[in-house]
């Protein structure tokens, strides 16, 4: 699939401004949480009962707390994020030159803003907030991402009659940040609007001079 093209020329600057807006909001929220909240349950703030809360926690790795092997896994992750940022930036400029749909480019800008937001944490927070994990080779590129949006979806035992998972204890309570939310929204909107953002490949029309799959003898039978 290829992006749907339009007749309107897009300016890359406005999409980079959208990404910058996400970065600023994300970094301000992390600064406020670090400055005014206590880590863990002691500083937890309820927004919607037990379902949605503000909860200051540190994420040393990827989404959902996944980590690459120490001691250099974090450095590899930070390097990958840096490459992804350059790749997304180049892709947005290319989409603008190709006159791709503005909605699709805006989604890519949301993903870029989220990627940069978490990259800043990884690169600088070990120095700024001194939150690099104990034993890190250096504080640069080993900063931990600040998460604070806590959604308590479900915690308990699943019904016994459920296939495979029945009777097992599950805990679904993702903790994320503005940058993660921006990435999720960008990806979700793209998936929900594939028919608008991408043109479907159409089969090439068959030439009138193309030979018939049947021979003359078969036609006469």
| Paired tokens of 18 | 């959208």
State how far the Cα of 52 lies from the Cα of 30, in Å rounded to an integer.
17
Question: 58 with 64: CB under 8 angstroms?
Answer: no
One of 26, 50, 121, 147 is an active-site residue; which one? Answer: 147
Question: 120 with 27: CB under 8 angstroms?
Answer: yes
Nearest to 15 by CA among 101, 81, 106, 86: 106
| Residues in CB range of 198: below 8 A, 6 or more apart | 1, 2, 3, 4
Radius of gyration of the chain (CA): 24
Active site residue 152: no
One of 50, 121, 130, 180 is an active-site residue; which one? Answer: 180
Q: Cβ atoms within 10 A of the Cβ of 168, count?
A: 10
Active site residue 147: yes
Pairing of strands 45-48, 52-59: antiparallel
Catalytic (active-site) positions: 147, 180
């Amino acid at each position: 699939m290829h992006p749907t093209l339009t007749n309107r020329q897009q300016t890359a600057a406005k999409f980079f401004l959208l990404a910058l807006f996400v970065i600023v909001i994300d970094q301000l929220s992390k600064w406020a949480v670090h400055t005014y909240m206590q880590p863990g349950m002691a500083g937890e703030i309820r927004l919607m009962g037990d379902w949605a809360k503000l909860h200051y926690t540190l994420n040393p790795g990827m989404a959902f707390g996944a980590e690459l092997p120490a001691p250099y896994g974090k450095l590899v992750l930070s390097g990958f994020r840096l490459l992804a940022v350059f790749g997304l930036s180049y892709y947005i400029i290319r989409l603008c030159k190709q006159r791709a749909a503005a909605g699709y480019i805006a989604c890519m800008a949301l993903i870029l803003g989220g990627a940069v937001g978490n990259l800043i944490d990884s690169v600088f927070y070990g120095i700024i907030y001194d939150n690099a994990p104990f034993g890190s080779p250096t504080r640069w590129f080993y900063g931990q991402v600040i998460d604070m949006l806590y959604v308590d979806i479900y915690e308990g035992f699943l019904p016994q009659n459920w296939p495979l998972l029945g009777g097992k204890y599950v805990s679904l309570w993702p903790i994320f940040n503005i940058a993660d939310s921006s990435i999720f929204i960008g990806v979700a909107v793209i998936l929900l609007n594939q028919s608008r953002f991408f043109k479907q490949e159409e089969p090439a029309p068959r030439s009138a001079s193309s030979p018939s799959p049947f021979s003359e003898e078969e036609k006469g039978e």
